[in-house]
Amino acid sequence: MRHTLPIAPQFYVTAPQSCPYLDGRRERKLFTALQGDHASTLNNTLSKQGFRRSQNVLYRPSCAECSACLSARIRATDFKPSKSQRRTIKRNANLTREATSPWATEEQYELFRRYLDSRHADGGMADMDIFEFAAMIEETPVKSRVIEYWDRSDADDPRLIATCLTDVLDDGLSMVYSFYDPDYARNSLGTFIILDHVRIAQEAGLPYVYLGYWVPGSAKMGYKAGFSALEIFRGSEWQELASAEDFTDDTHPLSVDPIAEQVARISLPDTRPT
C-alpha cells in the first residue's frame, strides 16, 4: 500500500506483524526512504515528528488498533539525574568514551552477539550476521557517530563493553541503537549510555536526546520513564511526561486515524532551491 504527499517523499505502510513490545498486539509502520541531497534535512524534520531512522529508512509506528508506542526525548538543559542515576554515573567513572565514524568492527559485532544472546535471543535481530550488522552501522546517509565505551582498568586487556550508534541532528542526538556487555549488569550500562548522551548534548549545546519509543505497559521500554525532563510525542505535538501513570496504551480501533490522514499531517522541509 502506498500513500503519497503532494510533494516527495513517498510514504508506505508495512504489513502487520506481531508486536515485539505488547503481547497479543499487531504492529505496522509508516515509513519513507532516506536518501539524496536532502537526507539530513528530512531526518531532522521527521525526527521532530516522532520518526526514527534505520539505515536509509525513516519509520514511525502506525498500528491499526493501538497507539501505545510514543516517541520520547529528554530536554538536556533541564535534565536532573536521580539519586540512583548519580550512582550509575559514579559506578562507570572509570570508563573511557571514544567517538568514531560509523564503521563496524569485529569487536563491536562480538559484543553485539553477546548482548543479543543474553537479552534478545528470540528478537528480530537474533539471526543478524556480521554483514547485516555492518550494514546497520555503516549504511547511513546522515551525520552519524559510533560512541564506544571501554574498560581499560587492565592495561593489557582493554574491553569494549558498550556501543551506541548515534545520529547528530540539528536539535540533538538520536540514539539509534545501543548494546552492551551482559557481564557488566551491575553497572546499569543501558542507563549510563543515556546519561552520557545527555552530557554530550549539554556540552555541545544541543537541546534534546532522542531515546526512541516509550511503550506504557512494556517491561522492555518502561525504564525510559525514569528520566527527568522527558517529553513524548502524542497528538502531533511534544508533551511533558509528568507522570507515567497519566499515559496508558490506547487500543480502541477508532482512536487511530486513517493512514491518509496521518500522512497529510506530516510537515515536510522546504527543499526548493532558493
Residue 272 in this model has a pLDDT that exceeds 70: no
Which range, of 53-57, 65-69, 269-273, averages the lowest pLDDT? 269-273
pLDDT at position 161 is 97
Query: Between the ranges 17-21, 30-34, 127-131, where is the mean pLDDT highest?
Result: 30-34
Q: Determine the straight-line distance between the first and last CA of the chain, rounded to whole angstroms.
A: 34
Query: Between the ranges 21-25, 39-43, 236-240, where is the mean pLDDT highest?
Result: 39-43
Average pLDDT over residues 145-163: 93
pLDDT classification of 249: cutoffs 50, 70, 90:
low
pLDDT at position 248 is 59
Q: How far apart are CA 176 and CA 144, in angstroms?
A: 9
In sequence order, the 6+-apart residues with CB closer than 8 A to the CB of 140 are 53, 55, 56, 102, 167
CB 60 within 8 A of CB 114: no
Mode of pairing for the β-strands spanning 70-75 and 208-214:
antiparallel
In sequence order, the 6+-apart residues with CB closer than 8 A to the CB of 13 are 1, 3, 28, 29, 30, 31, 62, 259
| CA triple 139-73-222, angle to 5 deg | 100
Question: What are the phi and psi torsion angles at 186 (to 5°)?
Answer: -70, -15
Q: What percent of the chain has pLDDT over 70?
A: 88
Q: What is the mean pLDDT of the chain?
A: 88
Average pLDDT over residues 116-145: 86
Which range, of 18-32, 53-67, 247-261, averages the lowest pLDDT? 247-261
pLDDT at position 245 is 65
Average pLDDT over residues 217-245: 83
Q: Identify the three-state secondary structure at position 116.
A: helix
Going from N- to C-terminal start, the domains of the chain cover 2-70+248-264, 73-246
pLDDT at position 98 is 97
The overall pTM is greater than 0.85:
yes
Residue 33 in this model has a pLDDT that exceeds 60: yes
Q: How far apart are CA 145 and CA 126, in angstroms?
A: 23
Q: What percent of the chain has pLDDT over 90?
A: 61
Nearest-CA neighbor of 59 among 201, 209, 197, 262?
A: 262
pLDDT at position 2 is 55
In tens, the pLDDT along 156-205 reads 889 999 999 999 999 999 999 999 999 998 999 999 999 999 999 999 99
Nearest-CA neighbor of 163 among 112, 95, 229, 232?
A: 112
**CATH of span 73-246:** 3.40.630.30
Q: How far apart are CA 87 and CA 194, in angstroms?
A: 14
Residue 5 in this model has a pLDDT that exceeds 50: no
